[in-house]
Amino acid sequence: MRFTTARLCGGKAVMAISADILDIDLAHAADVIEKEGCTIKERDEMLLVFEWNGMEVTLYPQGKVMYLPQTDRAQCIADATRLLEKVR
C-alpha cells in the first residue's frame, strides 16, 4: 500500500492516508478489532475509534487512519498497513 501522511492535533497525531481508493466496512472492521482485544470507544457510519497500544486510533471508511499520540510517520504507515490488511 502507498500512503501520504499528515500531522494533526498540533503535531501530536499522524494520519496515514491511503493512495488507493478503499471502502472499509466499519462494522466488519469493528468486529475484527474487538476480536484482537481492543476497546471500541466510538463507532458510526463515518468513523471507528478504538484504543490500541496506548494510542487512540481513528479509522475512516476511505482508508484513512489517525494515531494519537504519534509523531513517527514511518511507524504510522507501518501500523496503518497492518490494520488495513486485517480489516479489508
Residues 44-59 pLDDT 10s: 999 999 999 999 999 9
Give the domain ranges of the chain: 3-87
Does residue 83 contact residue 77 with C-beta atoms inside 8 Å? no
The pLDDT tens digits for 10-31 are 889 999 999 998 999 999 999 9
Classify residue 11 as exposed, middle or buried by CB count within 10 Å of its CB (0-12, 13-18, 19+): exposed
Higher pLDDT, 82 or 21: 82
| pLDDT, averaged across the chain | 95
> What is the amino acid identity at position 4?
T
Report yes or no on whether pTM surpasses 0.85.
yes
CATH number of 3-87: 3.30.310
Q: Summarize the confidence of residues 37-43 as an average pLDDT.
A: 97
